[in-house]
Structures are given as structure tokens and as C-alpha cells.
Amino acid sequence: MAISPLDYRYVTEMNSIFDEENKLSKWLLAEAALAKAHASLGDIPKKCAKEIGKKANTKSVKLHRVKEIESEIHHDLMAMVEALTEVCTKECGGYVHLGATSYDIEDTALSLILRDAIGLIEEKLKKLRQVLVVLASENKNTVCIGRTHGQHAVPTTYGMKFALYAKEINRHEERMKEAKKRMLVGKMTGAVGTMATFGDKAFKIQDLVMEELGLTPAGVTNQVIQRDRLAEVLFIMALVASTLEKIAKEIRSLQRSEIMEIAEPFGKKQVGSSTMPHKRNPHRSERICSLARVVRADLQIALENISLEHERDLTNSANERIIIPEIFILNDYMLKEMTEILTGLEFFYENIERNLEASKGNIMAEKLMILLTQKGMSRQDAHELLREASLKAAKQKIHLKEALEENKGITKYLSKKELEDAFDVHKYIGKAVEIVENAIKELK
């Protein structure tokens, strides 16, 4: 019976990368590569390397058998070694795991798993970026109110919002590409990293194993590959989760009843509340915000794992079995959710226009201040004039233009037509369209 929601609620194709069967498979790949390296250097018979390589798979080495052995010896990696040994011929079984310590296999195999996991995340990041680019392009001229401190500021565009997110996702792609250089490494360095068990051929053995597996040798290690490498990748995953939360929070805010400019897609039979039939809740965005907190909390554990004692202790082992798959599965799920949300995002253009006009012209105070300065009024005087007029308009619930028409200080600088034109909110978006177009060109 499933206990963790990762097994039944937040399931994606990422789950299969971190399941026990695949983990065992990657351990066996590392063992086969080690045997092949030994054979190529004359350390073991070539026929035994072939025998080990032939049996080093989950068809020959059954997960249930590994678990049976582990229940007796209480060591999961050694249980795999014994299970592989017993399916090989007696002559060749004795060469399994020759010279290696557990984490030569485990950490090297972890890099193989992470290579696949990172690849899947990169695919999802690319797809999300492409969806955001389309939305930016389609909405580069969709003028909306910008908000700072939760208050109406000045006009912006929805194209700007989506371009900003697309560029941020692209930065995560670049970060992951860089981090792979440091994460996708393996080791064959023995109990404390000195390679003592591999003798004079140690460097060659390690090079051959890593070449076979498509990894880079880690260089200096102790018993484990250092956890700053893993923490870096998981930190990037936390950054991705935080960006997804940022987008989700914006959708949630803009879907508020009193704003309602955009909304998550809503199915024909979808239910918003068990008691309030009218509800249309942004539950998918809320779920993303919730799961992002888990990812960031897991990152703290990864950072603490960096400071293992001496040449290594075991305090990272148990928690990594939880935090690594959890972070990757949740990120994969959130990326999939966000891509689907944005693909079906609904726009309420009438509400966008309504909110642009909601301040009764006050959002154009900045433009008027700049215009008055260009006409010869000092910037500070113009600021004070507009500040007082805006407060008056808000208090009296009148349009800012009406308040200004009664102000002799402004009428001597601006004509009636100039004042009228200054309140065209659709023309006060600066270089927003060009900014979006430039971003789109860079991202394509």
C-alpha cells in the first residue's frame, strides 16, 4: 500500500528513474564497468569480465533476492554484490567488486541516475520556456496595470510578464548545463579516496570505468564524492521551484474575484468547492506553491550533508534516499503542471481594461510629472503638484484629469488636448514591445 503521495498523487515519468529497480540496474552497470576495466588491464580473465557483464542486470540479479540478502547482512550494496556473485560462475563470481568500496559503486551509479533525471528536467524546462515565449509573443501588446507593493503602479503588458518568466527559466537551463560539469562525475578511489586497493593501475582503472559509463573522474575524493556537487544541483532545483511558485502566485493573485484578469483552465465538470458551487479556485497554482516549500526545505538538508566528518560518515545516506528523489519528482510534477496551466490559461480582457481604468487616471501621474518637467516645471514641483492632485482625486472619487483641470499650476504648462492625450494608458508602455521582441529573439 502506497504511503507517500509521490507514489500515487504526484507521479510522473521521473518516478521510474528513482525506483529501486533502476537504482539496482545502475549499481550493476557500475560493477560491470569495473570488471571490464580490470580485464582490459589483465587483472582478471576477460571471460570473467564478460560473465559479470552478462549477469549484471536486473533480469539476472533480482531485486527481491537482493532484499533477502540485505535482511540478513544489513548492507544494501553488499547484498547486491553477493546477489551478482551467486548468479555468476564460481570462477568469475569472486572478481565482482574487486578493489571497490561501496560508494565507488553507489556514488557513480547516483551520477548515472542524476544524468537521466537532469535530462528530463531540462526537457521540461525547455517546453515551459517555449510556452512562455508563445504567450509573450501573443500578448506583447496586451496592456495591463502594473502593480508594486500590491498597489496600482503604471501600465505594463502581459508580454512583459511572460518574457520575464521565460528569461528566468532560461537562466535555470544555463545553470543546470553548468552544474552538470561538476555533478556528472564518478569515482573508483576506495575506502578513503587513496586508490590503495587498485595499486599502480588505479588511475587507469578509474579512467576506463568512467569512459565506459560516460562520466568524468571526480578527481580528489574521500570515501564519497563531495556533497557540494549534489547540493549545487539541488539548489538549482530549488531555484526552479521558486520560479514556478512566483508564476503560480501571480496567477493566483490575478485570478482573485475582484481582479480576475486571468485564470487557470477549468474543466466542464470541475468542482471548485464541496459546499460553494460557484467557486473557481486556482488549486493547481496553489499546489505548486505548496510543493515548492517542500523542495526548499529539502535543500537545507542537502547543504548540511556537505560537512561530513573526516573521510566520511553516514549521516547523509538515509536522508538522501528521501530528498533526492523527492526534489526531482516534485520539480518534474510542478513543471508539468505549470506548462499545462499556462497552455490553457484564460484571459479576461474586459477585466484587464477595467482594472487599467480603476484608479481614475491616477496611474498616469508619473507620465504627467515627466511631461510637466519637459515643459519647464522643476521635477520636484511637478512631483508635488501631481501628488496633491492624486490625493485629491482619490479622496473626492473623481478622475485625476478633472482634478488637474481645476489646477491653474498645470494649465499654464499643458493645453487641454495635451492633458487629454496624457491619459492614454495604452501609449505609456515605453519600450515594452521591443523588450519582449528582443527577449523572444534571444530565447528562440
Task: Look at residues 126, 241, 232 and name the one whose alpha carbon lies nearest to residue 185.
Answer: 232
DSSP assignment, residue 74? -
Rounded distance between C-alpha atoms, residue 390 and residue 414, angstroms: 17
CA–CA dist 95, 93 (Å, integer) = 5
- Strand partners of residue 263: 346
Query: What is the DSSP-derived secondary structure letter of residue 56?
Result: -
Residues 121 and 183: their CA atoms lie apart, in Å, by 15
Among residues 14, 21, 18, 15, the alpha carbon closest in space to that of 80 is found at 21
Q: Are 160 and 435 in contact (CB under 8 A)?
A: yes
Distance CA 35, CA 243 (A): 44
CA–CA separation, 308 and 223 (whole Å): 11
Q: How far apart are CA 316 and CA 332, in angstroms?
A: 23
Bridge partners, residue 216, by sequence: 185
Catalytic residue among 64, 71, 74, 149: 149
Cα separation, 51 vs 89, whole angstroms: 8
Q: Are 77 and 27 in contact (CB under 8 A)?
A: yes
- Bridge partner list, 157: 143
Find out whether 159 and 433 touch, Cβ atoms under 8 Å: yes
Query: Is-contact 285 264, C-beta < 8 A?
Result: yes
Helix axis angle for 317-343 and 283-304, nearest 10°, is: 150
Please identify which of the residues 4, 16, 273, 307 carries the catalytic annotation: 273
Give the integer Cα–Cα distance in Å for 371 and 377: 9
- Tell me if residue 149 is catalytic: yes
Residue listed under C-alpha cell 528521501: 322
Amino acid at 58: T
Q: Is 60 a catalytic residue?
A: no
**HSE (side-chain half, CA atoms, 13 Å) at 258:** 1
Q: How far is CA 8 from CA 14, 20, 121, 130, in A?
A: 13, 16, 20, 29
How far is the C-alpha of 266 from the C-alpha of 333, rounded, in Å? 19
What is the Cα–Cα distance from 345 to 359, expressed in whole angstroms? 26
Cα 375 to Cα 349: distance, rounded to the nearest angstrom: 35
Catalytic residues: 149, 273
